[in-house]
Structure 1
Amino acid sequence: MNKNKLKEQWLSEEKKSFEGWDFSYITKRVIGEPLPWDYDKIVRQYLIKDFILLDMGTGGGEYLLTLNHPYSNTYVTEAYPPNYDLCKRKLSPLGIRVRQVVDDANLPFENSMFDIIINRHESFDIHEINRILKPNGLFITQQVGGQNNKELAEYLLGSFEEITNSDFALDRTIEWIRGIKFKVLFSNEYFPRLKFIDVGALVYLAKIIEWEFPSFSVEHCFEQLCKLQSTIDRQGFIETKEHRFMIVAQKAV
């Protein structure tokens, strides 16, 4: 193991730019376990052309555009400034309405405005979802649970003050949603395994999802990264446990 060469490579990965919510750069360097549900299939099952649609946390609109929903019936939110700017350049010219949102409890929309709200890996306030959905409106969300990458983050960083809520999970979220009279039409939870076939892919990911790897850097975690490299040299991969759950809920009349 040439540590100096590895460090140089990892520092290069750490500096890579990231735009939208597109992880294609590392697609061939990670092996993900399939979820027991299909977010896209579920969304398309409920989406009707006449529906007024909101995509929360759209990233760069990558997934949204695959739906081919009428642009005049489509709204998106995005909090991260570079992605918001990207959406303004990419989606606004199509007629899709783009809104920057930094406060989940204060969404810039009228009461009972949307037929369907989709949300993949974006935070939300169910009271605001309830406010802006029409009666019988649908809320479809896939969330990253609080146990996501927890063991790997603790290995790399040791003891740290958690930013994410480790108790964030399906049962508590369903309880919260049902508390304001939503009907849950579908729910599931799973802990898939994700394999990295090189440490550089982990470095790239950890810098992006900084809320799960607070204060991560190659310099700070170098010795731990070298140990992970030894594991890859021995078995061909390193593994982390992810946490996902899915809910389809309908607002009461």
Structure 2
Amino acid sequence: MTEELPLPDRDAPFEDHLAWARATPADVAPDLVARRCTTSSTRWDYADVAADAVRYATGPVLDLGTGTGDLFSTLAPFPEGSAATEAWHPHLALARRRLEPLGVEVRPVGPGVDDGLMLPFLSARFSVVLDRHEAFDPDEVARVLAPGGTFVTEQVDSRDGIRINTALGAPLPWGPDDVTLEGVVADVESAGLVVDDVDEHDGTRTFRDLATFCWYLRAAPWQVPALADLSPAGVARFEAPLRALHLHFASGRDFVDEAPRFVVRAHRRG
């Protein structure tokens, strides 16, 4: 248990840091790692932006990629007919347990359910579509939005994590220009939506020891898939750069990664 394995000192042995990262759940409470792994705050608060959109909704609201529904549930009450989607099966039951009592239908999406990013809803059904960090098809968003409806999305720029992969000598699992503010704005406008405002945040993520660095690789398994479970084979493959990072941390220095974000607000013409 995490309580039985304290976060090691920065200059503790390499193996102690690996042991902590392996033993600590990927979904651990943020305050346990808050002093050793921090991400700079955006100028905006997504929850506030989304709450404003829901507050002025004239019809049902849709949340794309709701996860466990914990954030979306805080925006209740919702207009009748509101819904949410989730692609990761382990989250579906949790989201339904949290959102269905609030009158929100939760539907699975993704591979094996319909086709890719298609949304299983009738056209022009929603007055608001929300999306935080979820891939989306702008044509599908435009289709399910009612005339005059609002679309709000916060996205992770694909430069996120690039310094991690560079430091480890690991290939990036995506292109650094795959998700950008300019690209999303162009896609949204091509789908016929009108962009009302945007904001961009050139954020950073700071690590202060190898334990939380390796823990993050488990919490974000897409970053370096070969290290997602910190298996002996995976660690052996990247042992040299991991040990170099450990020496970097043990000398009292931090590792600073990129963590850019952006938010786009748009609407469908009435």
TM-based fold match above 0.5: yes
Q: Quick check: 185-194 or 138-147, which moved more?
A: 185-194
State how 1:83-232 maps to structure 2 within 5 Å. Answer: 83-102=91-110, 103-156=115-168, 158-160=169-171, 162-167=172-177, 168-217=179-228, 218=230, 219=235, 220-232=237-249
Identity %: 24
CA contact (8 A) 2:206 2:255 kept: yes
Q: For 1:164 and 1:132, how far apart are their aligned partners in 2?
A: 28
Aligned to 2:41: 34
Q: For 2:167 and 2:262, how far apart are their aligned partners in 1?
A: 24
Aligned to 1:82: 90
CA contact (8 A) 2:61 2:78 kept: no
Q: Quick check: 87-96 or 97-106, which moved more?
A: 87-96
CA contact (8 A) 2:157 2:260 kept: yes
Superposition RMSD in Å = 2.3
State how 1:17-96 maps to structure 2 within 5 Å. Answer: 18=27, 23=30, 26-47=33-54, 48=56, 50-70=58-78, 72-96=80-104
Q: 1:24 to 1:182 in 2, by over 3 A?
A: farther
Q: 1:23 to 1:188 in 2, by over 3 A?
A: same
1:140: Cα distance to partner? Answer: 0.2
1:56: Cα distance to partner? Answer: 0.8
1:29: Cα distance to partner? Answer: 3.4
1:104: Cα distance to partner? Answer: 4.5
TM-score, scaled relative to structure 1: 0.87
- SS of equivalent to 1:215: helix
TM-score, scaled relative to structure 2: 0.82
1:124: Cα distance to partner? Answer: 0.1
Q: 1:81 to 1:71 in 2, by over 3 A?
A: farther
CA contact (8 A) 2:39 2:259 kept: no
Which consecutive residues of structure 1, in runs of 5 or more, have no partner in the other structure? none
Which consecutive residues of structure 2, in runs of 5 or more, have no partner in the other structure? 1-11
Aligned to 2:255: 238
CA contact (8 A) 1:163 1:211 kept: yes
1:59: Cα distance to partner? Answer: 1.0
Equivalent residue letter for 1:57: G
Q: Quick check: 176-185 or 118-127, which moved more?
A: 176-185
Q: For 2:131 and 2:138, how far apart are their aligned partners in 1?
A: 12
